[in-house]
Amino acid sequence: MAREFFGTDGIRGRVGEYPMTAQTVMKLGWAAGKVLASKGNREVLIGKDTRISGYLFESALEAGLASAGINSRLLGPMPTPAVAYLTSTFRAAAGIVISASHNPFYDNGLKFFSTEGSKLPDDVELEIEAMMREEMTTVDSKDLGRARRVDDAAGRYIEFCKSTFPSSLRLDGMKIVVDSANGAAYHIAGQVFDELGAQVVSVGADPNGMNINKDCGATAPDNLRAHVLLERADVGIALDGDGDRIIMVDHRGEIVDGDEILYVLAKARHAAGTLKGGVVGTLMSNLALEHAMNDLSIPFERASVGDRYVMELLRANGWELGGENSGHVICLDRVTTGDAIVAALAVLAVMRSSGESLSRLRSDMQLYPQVLVNVPSSKKVDLEANDQIQQAVRQAEQDLGDSGRILLRPSGTEPLVRVMVEGKVANDVEAICNSVAKVVGEALG
Protein backbone atom coordinates (compact mmCIF):
# COMPACT_ATOMS: atom_id res chain seq x y z
CA MET A 1 0.00 0.00 0.00
CA ALA A 2 1.30 3.46 -0.87
CA ARG A 3 2.26 5.51 2.17
CA GLU A 4 0.55 8.85 2.68
CA PHE A 5 1.87 9.79 6.11
CA PHE A 6 4.96 7.87 7.21
CA GLY A 7 8.32 8.72 5.66
CA THR A 8 11.76 7.40 6.59
CA ASP A 9 11.62 9.26 9.92
CA GLY A 10 7.96 9.42 10.84
CA ILE A 11 5.62 12.25 9.82
CA ARG A 12 6.74 15.83 9.32
CA GLY A 13 5.44 19.09 7.86
CA ARG A 14 4.67 22.75 8.40
CA VAL A 15 2.38 23.47 11.31
CA GLY A 16 -1.16 24.22 10.10
CA GLU A 17 -0.62 22.49 6.77
CA TYR A 18 -1.67 18.91 6.07
CA PRO A 19 -0.79 16.56 7.68
CA MET A 20 0.44 18.68 10.62
CA THR A 21 -2.99 20.02 11.59
CA ALA A 22 -4.81 19.42 14.86
CA GLN A 23 -7.53 17.43 13.09
CA THR A 24 -5.13 15.11 11.27
CA VAL A 25 -2.90 14.56 14.31
CA MET A 26 -5.94 13.73 16.43
CA LYS A 27 -7.03 11.16 13.88
CA LEU A 28 -3.48 9.77 13.70
CA GLY A 29 -3.65 9.33 17.45
CA TRP A 30 -6.97 7.52 17.08
CA ALA A 31 -5.71 5.35 14.20
CA ALA A 32 -2.54 4.42 16.10
CA GLY A 33 -4.64 3.74 19.18
CA LYS A 34 -7.01 1.43 17.32
CA VAL A 35 -4.10 -0.56 15.91
CA LEU A 36 -2.29 -0.77 19.25
CA ALA A 37 -5.47 -1.65 21.19
CA SER A 38 -6.01 -4.61 18.89
CA LYS A 39 -2.66 -5.99 20.12
CA GLY A 40 -3.67 -5.80 23.78
CA ASN A 41 -1.43 -3.12 25.31
CA ARG A 42 -3.23 0.16 26.05
CA GLU A 43 -0.39 2.37 27.35
CA VAL A 44 1.38 4.97 25.16
CA LEU A 45 4.08 7.48 26.10
CA ILE A 46 4.06 10.98 24.54
CA GLY A 47 7.12 13.24 24.57
CA LYS A 48 7.84 16.45 22.70
CA ASP A 49 10.51 19.01 21.99
CA THR A 50 10.20 22.71 22.83
CA ARG A 51 8.28 24.00 19.80
CA ILE A 52 5.29 26.15 20.69
CA SER A 53 3.10 23.86 18.56
CA GLY A 54 3.95 20.96 20.85
CA TYR A 55 1.14 21.99 23.20
CA LEU A 56 -1.36 21.84 20.35
CA PHE A 57 -0.29 18.44 19.06
CA GLU A 58 0.14 16.90 22.51
CA SER A 59 -3.51 17.67 23.26
CA ALA A 60 -4.66 16.45 19.85
CA LEU A 61 -2.73 13.19 20.14
CA GLU A 62 -4.00 12.53 23.66
CA ALA A 63 -7.60 13.14 22.53
CA GLY A 64 -7.25 10.78 19.58
CA LEU A 65 -5.66 8.05 21.69
CA ALA A 66 -8.29 8.43 24.43
CA SER A 67 -11.11 8.07 21.92
CA ALA A 68 -9.60 4.73 20.90
CA GLY A 69 -9.38 3.61 24.54
CA ILE A 70 -5.62 4.18 24.96
CA ASN A 71 -4.06 5.65 28.13
CA SER A 72 -1.38 8.32 27.65
CA ARG A 73 1.60 9.03 29.87
CA LEU A 74 2.76 12.58 29.14
CA LEU A 75 6.51 13.10 29.47
CA GLY A 76 6.69 16.78 28.54
CA PRO A 77 9.84 18.06 26.77
CA MET A 78 12.01 15.00 26.33
CA PRO A 79 14.73 13.99 23.80
CA THR A 80 13.74 11.46 21.17
CA PRO A 81 16.15 8.78 22.51
CA ALA A 82 14.74 9.34 26.00
CA VAL A 83 11.24 8.52 24.76
CA ALA A 84 12.62 5.39 23.08
CA TYR A 85 14.29 4.33 26.34
CA LEU A 86 11.29 5.10 28.55
CA THR A 87 8.89 3.32 26.18
CA SER A 88 10.91 0.18 26.75
CA THR A 89 11.21 0.57 30.54
CA PHE A 90 7.49 1.30 30.92
CA ARG A 91 6.69 -1.68 28.66
CA ALA A 92 4.34 0.66 26.80
CA ALA A 93 2.70 -0.30 23.52
CA ALA A 94 4.43 2.60 21.81
CA GLY A 95 6.20 5.90 22.32
CA ILE A 96 5.35 8.99 20.28
CA VAL A 97 7.66 11.99 19.95
CA ILE A 98 6.24 15.31 18.79
CA SER A 99 9.23 16.84 17.02
CA ALA A 100 10.60 17.96 13.68
CA SER A 101 14.17 17.27 14.82
CA HIS A 102 16.57 19.82 13.30
CA ASN A 103 13.89 21.77 11.38
CA PRO A 104 12.83 25.36 12.27
CA PHE A 105 10.14 25.92 14.92
CA TYR A 106 7.33 26.37 12.37
CA ASP A 107 7.63 22.71 11.38
CA ASN A 108 6.63 19.78 13.53
CA GLY A 109 6.22 16.05 13.22
CA LEU A 110 5.58 12.70 14.87
CA LYS A 111 8.01 9.85 15.47
CA PHE A 112 6.79 6.46 16.69
CA PHE A 113 8.71 3.86 18.69
CA SER A 114 7.79 0.26 19.41
CA THR A 115 7.65 -1.31 22.86
CA GLU A 116 11.30 -2.36 22.37
CA GLY A 117 12.34 1.28 21.91
CA SER A 118 13.10 0.94 18.19
CA LYS A 119 11.41 2.51 15.19
CA LEU A 120 7.88 1.23 14.59
CA PRO A 121 7.88 -1.83 12.27
CA ASP A 122 6.74 -1.25 8.69
CA ASP A 123 3.73 -3.54 9.05
CA VAL A 124 2.42 -1.53 12.03
CA GLU A 125 2.91 1.75 10.15
CA LEU A 126 0.95 0.30 7.24
CA GLU A 127 -1.86 -0.77 9.60
CA ILE A 128 -2.06 2.80 10.92
CA GLU A 129 -2.09 4.14 7.35
CA ALA A 130 -4.98 1.79 6.52
CA MET A 131 -6.89 2.81 9.67
CA MET A 132 -6.63 6.48 8.65
CA ARG A 133 -8.97 5.62 5.78
CA GLU A 134 -11.69 4.56 8.21
CA GLU A 135 -14.24 6.84 9.84
CA MET A 136 -13.17 7.99 13.30
CA THR A 137 -15.27 6.57 16.14
CA THR A 138 -15.19 6.78 19.92
CA VAL A 139 -15.24 3.89 22.38
CA ASP A 140 -17.89 3.72 25.10
CA SER A 141 -17.39 6.30 27.85
CA LYS A 142 -16.37 3.69 30.42
CA ASP A 143 -13.56 2.54 28.07
CA LEU A 144 -12.09 5.97 27.27
CA GLY A 145 -8.36 6.37 27.77
CA ARG A 146 -6.90 8.54 30.49
CA ALA A 147 -3.85 10.82 30.55
CA ARG A 148 -1.37 11.49 33.33
CA ARG A 149 2.00 13.19 33.67
CA VAL A 150 5.24 11.32 34.39
CA ASP A 151 6.93 13.72 36.80
CA ASP A 152 10.31 11.97 37.06
CA ALA A 153 10.90 11.26 33.35
CA ALA A 154 13.94 13.55 33.07
CA GLY A 155 15.59 12.06 36.15
CA ARG A 156 15.07 8.51 34.90
CA TYR A 157 16.76 9.35 31.60
CA ILE A 158 19.62 11.24 33.22
CA GLU A 159 20.43 8.19 35.35
CA PHE A 160 20.27 5.94 32.29
CA CYS A 161 22.71 8.15 30.36
CA LYS A 162 25.14 8.16 33.28
CA SER A 163 24.93 4.36 33.48
CA THR A 164 26.47 4.10 30.00
CA PHE A 165 29.65 5.86 31.19
CA PRO A 166 32.29 3.57 32.78
CA SER A 167 31.86 3.51 36.56
CA SER A 168 35.63 3.74 37.00
CA LEU A 169 35.82 7.12 35.27
CA ARG A 170 34.77 10.69 36.07
CA LEU A 171 34.94 14.00 34.22
CA ASP A 172 36.57 16.02 37.00
CA GLY A 173 38.79 18.81 35.71
CA MET A 174 37.20 18.79 32.27
CA LYS A 175 35.47 21.94 31.01
CA ILE A 176 32.68 21.19 28.54
CA VAL A 177 30.44 23.54 26.57
CA VAL A 178 27.04 21.96 25.94
CA ASP A 179 24.75 23.48 23.29
CA SER A 180 21.25 22.00 23.63
CA ALA A 181 19.82 23.84 20.59
CA ASN A 182 17.07 25.34 22.80
CA GLY A 183 15.49 21.96 22.30
CA ALA A 184 14.24 18.88 24.10
CA ALA A 185 17.46 18.25 26.07
CA TYR A 186 17.78 21.80 27.45
CA HIS A 187 17.12 20.60 31.04
CA ILE A 188 18.94 17.28 30.73
CA ALA A 189 22.19 17.36 28.73
CA GLY A 190 24.17 19.75 30.92
CA GLN A 191 23.05 17.99 34.09
CA VAL A 192 24.35 14.61 32.87
CA PHE A 193 27.90 15.91 32.39
CA ASP A 194 27.75 18.01 35.56
CA GLU A 195 26.80 15.01 37.71
CA LEU A 196 29.78 13.11 36.27
CA GLY A 197 32.11 15.83 37.53
CA ALA A 198 32.60 18.16 34.54
CA GLN A 199 32.54 21.93 34.65
CA VAL A 200 29.65 22.62 32.29
CA VAL A 201 28.97 25.80 30.33
CA SER A 202 25.41 25.56 29.01
CA VAL A 203 24.28 27.42 25.90
CA GLY A 204 21.14 26.97 23.83
CA ALA A 205 19.31 26.05 27.05
CA ASP A 206 16.70 28.81 27.19
CA PRO A 207 13.84 27.72 24.89
CA ASN A 208 10.96 30.09 24.20
CA GLY A 209 8.97 27.93 21.78
CA MET A 210 10.38 29.58 18.68
CA ASN A 211 14.18 29.54 19.04
CA ILE A 212 14.73 25.78 18.72
CA ASN A 213 17.70 25.13 16.36
CA LYS A 214 17.93 28.87 15.60
CA ASP A 215 21.62 29.73 15.12
CA CYS A 216 22.57 27.04 17.64
CA GLY A 217 22.86 23.30 18.11
CA ALA A 218 24.22 20.61 15.81
CA THR A 219 22.99 22.34 12.65
CA ALA A 220 24.80 25.60 13.50
CA PRO A 221 28.06 24.46 15.16
CA ASP A 222 29.79 27.84 14.74
CA ASN A 223 27.89 28.89 17.88
CA LEU A 224 29.49 26.05 19.81
CA ARG A 225 32.91 26.73 18.30
CA ALA A 226 32.81 30.37 19.43
CA HIS A 227 31.90 29.41 22.99
CA VAL A 228 34.57 26.67 23.21
CA LEU A 229 37.26 29.15 22.19
CA LEU A 230 35.88 31.89 24.44
CA GLU A 231 35.69 29.60 27.46
CA ARG A 232 38.96 27.80 26.64
CA ALA A 233 37.04 24.59 27.09
CA ASP A 234 38.40 21.09 26.59
CA VAL A 235 35.55 20.08 24.30
CA GLY A 236 32.17 21.19 23.03
CA ILE A 237 29.03 19.13 22.46
CA ALA A 238 26.11 20.26 20.29
CA LEU A 239 22.79 18.46 20.07
CA ASP A 240 19.96 19.08 17.64
CA GLY A 241 16.43 20.02 18.68
CA ASP A 242 15.29 16.53 19.62
CA GLY A 243 18.60 15.28 20.99
CA ASP A 244 19.42 12.43 18.61
CA ARG A 245 22.18 14.18 16.63
CA ILE A 246 25.61 15.22 17.90
CA ILE A 247 28.36 17.44 16.53
CA MET A 248 31.46 18.09 18.65
CA VAL A 249 34.19 20.76 18.74
CA ASP A 250 37.72 20.09 19.96
CA HIS A 251 39.73 22.48 22.14
CA ARG A 252 41.24 24.11 19.05
CA GLY A 253 37.78 25.08 17.78
CA GLU A 254 37.70 22.46 15.03
CA ILE A 255 34.32 20.92 14.24
CA VAL A 256 34.14 17.12 14.63
CA ASP A 257 31.29 15.56 12.64
CA GLY A 258 29.56 12.19 12.81
CA ASP A 259 32.12 10.45 10.58
CA GLU A 260 34.98 11.54 12.84
CA ILE A 261 33.08 10.51 15.96
CA LEU A 262 32.52 7.06 14.42
CA TYR A 263 36.25 6.86 13.65
CA VAL A 264 37.25 7.71 17.24
CA LEU A 265 34.83 5.15 18.70
CA ALA A 266 35.60 2.40 16.18
CA LYS A 267 39.37 2.77 16.55
CA ALA A 268 39.17 2.68 20.37
CA ARG A 269 36.87 -0.34 20.42
CA HIS A 270 38.98 -2.14 17.85
CA ALA A 271 42.12 -1.57 19.92
CA ALA A 272 40.35 -2.79 23.07
CA GLY A 273 38.95 -5.84 21.29
CA THR A 274 35.36 -4.80 22.01
CA LEU A 275 34.24 -3.83 18.50
CA LYS A 276 31.57 -6.27 17.38
CA GLY A 277 31.87 -6.81 13.62
CA GLY A 278 32.27 -3.63 11.62
CA VAL A 279 30.90 -0.12 11.11
CA VAL A 280 27.92 1.08 9.09
CA GLY A 281 27.96 4.49 7.42
CA THR A 282 25.75 5.90 4.67
CA LEU A 283 26.10 6.91 1.05
CA MET A 284 27.08 10.36 2.34
CA SER A 285 29.83 9.15 4.70
CA ASN A 286 33.19 10.67 3.82
CA LEU A 287 35.48 8.42 1.78
CA ALA A 288 38.21 9.05 4.36
CA LEU A 289 36.18 7.09 6.91
CA GLU A 290 35.95 4.11 4.57
CA HIS A 291 39.68 4.23 3.88
CA ALA A 292 40.48 4.58 7.59
CA MET A 293 38.34 1.54 8.41
CA ASN A 294 40.10 -0.43 5.66
CA ASP A 295 43.50 0.56 7.08
CA LEU A 296 42.42 -0.80 10.47
CA SER A 297 40.98 -3.97 8.89
CA ILE A 298 37.52 -3.02 10.16
CA PRO A 299 34.63 -4.03 7.87
CA PHE A 300 32.70 -1.01 6.57
CA GLU A 301 29.38 -0.91 4.73
CA ARG A 302 27.20 1.92 3.47
CA ALA A 303 23.43 2.14 4.00
CA SER A 304 20.99 4.50 2.31
CA VAL A 305 20.79 7.97 3.86
CA GLY A 306 18.74 7.93 7.07
CA ASP A 307 19.37 6.50 10.53
CA ARG A 308 16.54 4.01 9.94
CA TYR A 309 18.57 2.35 7.18
CA VAL A 310 21.76 2.44 9.25
CA MET A 311 19.88 0.61 11.99
CA GLU A 312 18.51 -1.98 9.56
CA LEU A 313 21.98 -2.79 8.22
CA LEU A 314 23.50 -2.95 11.71
CA ARG A 315 20.88 -5.47 12.79
CA ALA A 316 21.18 -7.48 9.60
CA ASN A 317 24.96 -7.76 10.13
CA GLY A 318 24.82 -8.22 13.89
CA TRP A 319 27.03 -5.13 14.36
CA GLU A 320 26.73 -2.37 16.98
CA LEU A 321 28.34 0.84 15.71
CA GLY A 322 27.08 3.05 12.89
CA GLY A 323 25.86 6.49 11.96
CA GLU A 324 25.77 9.45 9.62
CA ASN A 325 28.10 12.38 9.09
CA SER A 326 25.20 14.66 10.06
CA GLY A 327 25.58 13.41 13.62
CA HIS A 328 23.29 10.42 14.08
CA VAL A 329 25.61 8.05 15.98
CA ILE A 330 24.19 4.68 17.01
CA CYS A 331 25.79 2.51 19.69
CA LEU A 332 23.51 -0.53 19.75
CA ASP A 333 25.30 -2.01 22.76
CA ARG A 334 23.94 0.91 24.79
CA VAL A 335 20.81 2.30 23.08
CA THR A 336 18.14 1.38 20.53
CA THR A 337 18.37 4.56 18.45
CA GLY A 338 20.67 7.52 17.81
CA ASP A 339 21.42 9.28 21.11
CA ALA A 340 23.56 12.43 21.22
CA ILE A 341 24.24 12.36 24.97
CA VAL A 342 25.19 8.67 25.03
CA ALA A 343 27.43 9.12 21.97
CA ALA A 344 29.11 12.12 23.65
CA LEU A 345 29.72 10.08 26.79
CA ALA A 346 31.29 7.31 24.68
CA VAL A 347 33.74 9.81 23.16
CA LEU A 348 34.48 11.37 26.55
CA ALA A 349 35.22 7.90 27.93
CA VAL A 350 37.81 7.39 25.19
CA MET A 351 39.34 10.78 25.98
CA ARG A 352 39.48 10.02 29.70
CA SER A 353 40.81 6.45 29.43
CA SER A 354 43.46 7.37 26.82
CA GLY A 355 44.43 10.74 28.29
CA GLU A 356 44.25 12.18 24.76
CA SER A 357 42.43 15.29 23.58
CA LEU A 358 39.66 15.00 21.00
CA SER A 359 41.92 16.89 18.61
CA ARG A 360 44.55 14.16 18.90
CA LEU A 361 42.10 11.27 18.73
CA ARG A 362 40.58 12.45 15.46
CA SER A 363 43.85 13.65 13.87
CA ASP A 364 44.78 10.36 12.19
CA MET A 365 41.80 10.63 9.86
CA GLN A 366 41.67 13.70 7.67
CA LEU A 367 38.33 14.16 5.94
CA TYR A 368 38.51 14.53 2.17
CA PRO A 369 37.16 17.76 0.70
CA GLN A 370 33.50 17.27 -0.18
CA VAL A 371 31.42 19.54 -2.42
CA LEU A 372 27.63 19.30 -2.64
CA VAL A 373 25.58 21.12 -5.29
CA ASN A 374 21.78 21.06 -5.23
CA VAL A 375 20.39 21.14 -8.77
CA PRO A 376 16.76 22.30 -9.05
CA SER A 377 14.60 19.76 -10.84
CA SER A 378 11.52 20.88 -12.76
CA LYS A 379 10.83 17.36 -13.99
CA LYS A 380 11.61 13.80 -13.06
CA VAL A 381 14.49 12.25 -14.95
CA ASP A 382 15.80 8.69 -14.66
CA LEU A 383 19.40 9.52 -13.78
CA GLU A 384 20.60 5.99 -14.57
CA ALA A 385 19.01 6.00 -18.02
CA ASN A 386 20.18 9.45 -19.12
CA ASP A 387 23.22 9.00 -21.40
CA GLN A 388 24.39 12.60 -21.01
CA ILE A 389 24.41 12.37 -17.21
CA GLN A 390 25.99 8.94 -17.13
CA GLN A 391 28.76 10.02 -19.48
CA ALA A 392 29.54 12.97 -17.18
CA VAL A 393 29.59 10.60 -14.18
CA ARG A 394 31.95 8.16 -15.90
CA GLN A 395 34.31 11.00 -16.81
CA ALA A 396 34.24 12.27 -13.22
CA GLU A 397 34.98 8.80 -11.84
CA GLN A 398 37.91 8.49 -14.25
CA ASP A 399 39.28 11.88 -13.16
CA LEU A 400 38.91 11.02 -9.46
CA GLY A 401 40.35 7.51 -9.67
CA ASP A 402 40.59 5.56 -6.43
CA SER A 403 41.00 8.71 -4.35
CA GLY A 404 37.55 10.17 -4.90
CA ARG A 405 33.85 9.46 -5.22
CA ILE A 406 30.76 10.90 -6.89
CA LEU A 407 27.14 10.49 -5.83
CA LEU A 408 23.94 11.66 -7.52
CA ARG A 409 20.87 11.46 -5.30
CA PRO A 410 17.35 12.86 -5.83
CA SER A 411 16.11 14.63 -2.70
CA GLY A 412 13.31 12.86 -0.88
CA THR A 413 11.76 16.11 0.35
CA GLU A 414 12.53 18.80 -2.25
CA PRO A 415 12.50 19.11 -6.09
CA LEU A 416 16.28 18.74 -6.22
CA VAL A 417 19.01 16.40 -7.36
CA ARG A 418 22.01 16.45 -5.04
CA VAL A 419 25.39 16.15 -6.76
CA MET A 420 28.16 15.26 -4.31
CA VAL A 421 31.83 14.85 -5.19
CA GLU A 422 34.69 14.18 -2.79
CA GLY A 423 38.39 13.57 -3.23
CA LYS A 424 41.82 14.45 -1.90
CA VAL A 425 42.34 17.70 -3.83
CA ALA A 426 39.83 20.47 -3.06
CA ASN A 427 40.18 22.38 -6.31
CA ASP A 428 39.71 19.24 -8.40
CA VAL A 429 36.65 18.22 -6.39
CA GLU A 430 34.97 21.61 -6.81
CA ALA A 431 35.64 21.75 -10.55
CA ILE A 432 34.40 18.20 -11.15
CA CYS A 433 31.26 18.75 -9.05
CA ASN A 434 30.37 21.97 -10.87
CA SER A 435 30.95 20.28 -14.22
CA VAL A 436 28.65 17.35 -13.42
CA ALA A 437 26.05 19.65 -11.85
CA LYS A 438 25.94 21.71 -15.04
CA VAL A 439 25.23 18.57 -17.10
CA VAL A 440 22.55 17.45 -14.65
CA GLY A 441 20.97 20.89 -14.72
CA GLU A 442 20.77 20.84 -18.50
CA ALA A 443 19.20 17.38 -18.45
CA LEU A 444 16.63 18.43 -15.82
CA GLY A 445 15.67 21.61 -17.59
* pLDDT, tens digit, 9 for 90 and up, residues 345-356: 999 999 999 999
Question: Which CATH code fits 11-151?
Answer: 3.40.120.10
* pLDDT, tens digit, 9 for 90 and up, residues 52-85: 999 999 999 999 999 999 999 999 999 999 999 9
Q: Could you give the C-alpha distances from 274 to 269, 270, 315, 419, in angstroms and in order?
A: 5, 6, 17, 37
Question: Check: CATH 3.40.47.10 for 158-237?
Answer: no
Q: What is the pLDDT of residue 366?
A: 93
98 Ramachandran zone, left/alpha/beta (phi>0; psi -120 to 50): beta
* pLDDT, tens digit, 9 for 90 and up, residues 247-295: 999 999 999 999 999 999 999 999 999 999 999 999 999 999 999 999 9
Residue 159 has pLDDT above 70, yes or no: yes
Q: What is the pLDDT of residue 3?
A: 82
Architecture of domain 370-444: 2-Layer Sandwich (3.30)
Catalytic-labelled residue, pool 101, 114, 326, 377: 101
Average pLDDT over residues 232-248: 98
CB 369 within 8 A of CB 286: no
Where does the chain hold its CATH 3.30.310.50 domain(s)? 370-444
Q: What is the DSSP letter of 369?
A: P
Q: What is the pLDDT of residue 124?
A: 93
* pLDDT, tens digit, 9 for 90 and up, residues 14-53: 999 999 999 999 999 999 999 999 888 899 999 999 999 9
Average pLDDT over residues 128-157: 97
Where does the chain hold its CATH 3.40.120.10 domain(s)? 11-151, 158-237, 256-361
Q: What is the DSSP letter of 337?
A: S
Judge whether 101 counts as a catalytic residue.
yes
Question: Check: CATH 3.40.120.10 for 256-361?
Answer: yes
